[in-house]
């Protein structure tokens, strides 16, 4: 083969290959174009995804930073929570302790308050006139006078003579005597919380008006005005109910003399608006002489050197009785108590000035 032939052969191959490639190129050109377009699209998508990735990476970095901060905050808050929980547990323990102490305090406050109230209730029957009625005028106390009443009256049915005899016996045998001072505790202030009353302040004072029983007065043969009035009231009532079998009205009379001084005696209502005042103590009950003499101290309506006991018009007699205390201001107020000598129950039947009491008595 000559050189030209080889050249032509090579050239032919090249041309043939080119023609074949051209044919192939023509045949596959649409696909190539599609692939090129697809590559271009993928490139665009890649660039978009790359931008998204960059944005997400930035967001991730920001979120990591936020997470780190939140984790730090969480750890800090967890520490604060644990501290607060420890404080809460401590406060809860302290609250429980204080709650127990509060319950104990309330218990003892109630106990002390009740004890003080009980003390006041105990004092009342011994220091208050009205409060003493249930103690000194119940049947077992009044029965202590029965022997002396029978001895004095001998069971006589002469009412006026018997009343006068009982008055004279008390006037002659019972000496006026001042009561001893009694220390009395009383509350001066209080508060109420959660339904519990608590006294905030207490005080004491010396009370010198002890209400003694009839048996005490008879045994020691002494007593002040209310003690002697209680004795003569009980004697007359016992005589009425157990010897005469009657129940005439009879009053324990409490009088205010002047501005504040008090006195106790007995008033017997009589028909037609009259009354009889029976007072074994009389006008000199505050005199020291009364401590040493046993007679000549009393006041009895109608009683005189030549006359016996009687009734007089109420207004006239109350004025006469008041005049005995004129140096002290006279009688300014009167209370009349009717007392049941079986149980000490009583009624305040009337109170007021001399005129009002006289009107009540009907004279």
Q: pLDDT per residue over 176-214, tens digit each? A: 988 777 777 778 788 887 887 888 888 777 777 788 999
Q: Is the same domain home to 143 and 118?
A: no
Q: Is the same domain home to 13 and 82?
A: yes
Q: Is the same domain home to 23 and 172?
A: no
What pLDDT sits at residue 285? 47
What pLDDT sits at residue 346? 96
Q: Is residue 2 part of a domain?
A: no
Q: Is residue 143 part of a domain?
A: yes
Q: Is the same domain home to 113 and 233?
A: no
Q: Is residue 196 part of a domain?
A: no
Q: Is the same domain home to 256 and 333?
A: yes
**Extended beta strands in the chain, E state:** 175-176, 182-193, 196-207, 222-223, 251-257, 261-270, 274-279, 299-300, 312-313, 331-339, 346-352
196: left (phi over 0), alpha (psi -120 to 50) or beta: beta
What pLDDT sits at residue 289? 45
Q: Is the same domain home to 152 and 85?
A: no
Q: Is residue 240 part of a domain?
A: yes
Q: Is residue 215 part of a domain?
A: no
For the chain, percent of residues with pLDDT exceeding 90: 45
What backbone phi and psi angles, to 5 degrees, belong to 101?
-65, -40
Q: Are β-strands 175-176 and 222-223 bridged in parallel, bridged antiparallel, or unpaired? A: parallel
Query: Residue 2: pLDDT band by 50, 70, 90 thresholds?
Result: low
For the chain, percent of residues with pLDDT exceeding 70: 86
Average pLDDT estimate for 344-348: 95
Distance CA 130, CA 227 (A): 13
Written as six digits, the tokens of 127 are 């220091």
Q: Is the same domain home to 123 and 148?
A: no
Number of domains in the chain: 2
Q: Which domain holds residue 241?
A: 138-179+225-361
Q: Is the same domain home to 68 and 143?
A: no
Q: Is the same domain home to 31 and 120?
A: yes
* Residues 54-78: tens digit of each pLDDT: 888 888 888 888 888 888 889 999 8
């Amino acid at each position: 083969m000559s050189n030209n032939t080889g050249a032509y052969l090579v050239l032919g191959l090249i041309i043939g290959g080119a023609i074949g490639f051209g044919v192939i190129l023509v045949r596959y050109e649409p696909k190539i174009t599609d692939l090129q377009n697809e590559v271009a699209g993928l490139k665009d998508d890649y660039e978009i995804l790359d931008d998204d990735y960059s944005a997400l990476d930035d967001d991730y970095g920001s979120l990591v930073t936020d997470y780190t901060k939140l984790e730090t905050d969480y750890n800090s808050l967890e520490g604060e929570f644990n501290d607060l929980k420890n404080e809460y547990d401590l406060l809860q323990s302290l609250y429980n302790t204080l709650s127990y102490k509060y319950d104990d305090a309330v218990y003892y406050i109630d106990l002390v308050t009740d004890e003080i109230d009980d003390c006041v209730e105990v004092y009342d029957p011994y220091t208050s006139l009205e409060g003493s009625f249930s103690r000194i005028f119940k049947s077992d106390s009044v029965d202590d006078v029965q022997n002396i009443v029978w001895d004095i009256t001998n069971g006589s049915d002469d009412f006026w003579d018997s009343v006068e005899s009982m008055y004279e016996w008390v006037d002659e045998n019972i000496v006026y005597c001042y009561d001893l001072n009694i220390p009395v505790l009383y509350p001066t202030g209080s508060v109420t919380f959660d339904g519990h009353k608590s006294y905030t302040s207490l005080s004491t004072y010396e009370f010198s008006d002890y209400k003694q029983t009839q048996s005490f007065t008879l045994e020691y043969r002494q007593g002040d005005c209310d003690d002697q009035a209680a004795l003569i009231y009980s004697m007359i009532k016992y005589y009425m109910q157990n010897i005469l079998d009657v129940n005439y009205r009879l009053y324990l009379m409490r009088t205010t003399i002047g501005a504040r001084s008090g006195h106790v005696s007995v008033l017997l209502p009589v028909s037609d608006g009259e009354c009889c005042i029976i007072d074994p103590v009389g006008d000199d009950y505050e005199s020291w002489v009364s401590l040493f003499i046993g007679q000549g101290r009393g006041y009895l309506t109608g009683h005189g050197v030549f006359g016996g006991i009687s009734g007089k018009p109420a207004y006239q007699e109350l004025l006469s009785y008041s005049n005995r205390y004129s140096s002290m201001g006279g009688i300014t107020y009167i209370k009349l108590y009717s007392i049941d000598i079986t149980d000490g129950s009583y009624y305040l039947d009337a109170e007021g000035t001399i005129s009002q009491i006289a009107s009540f008595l009907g004279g």
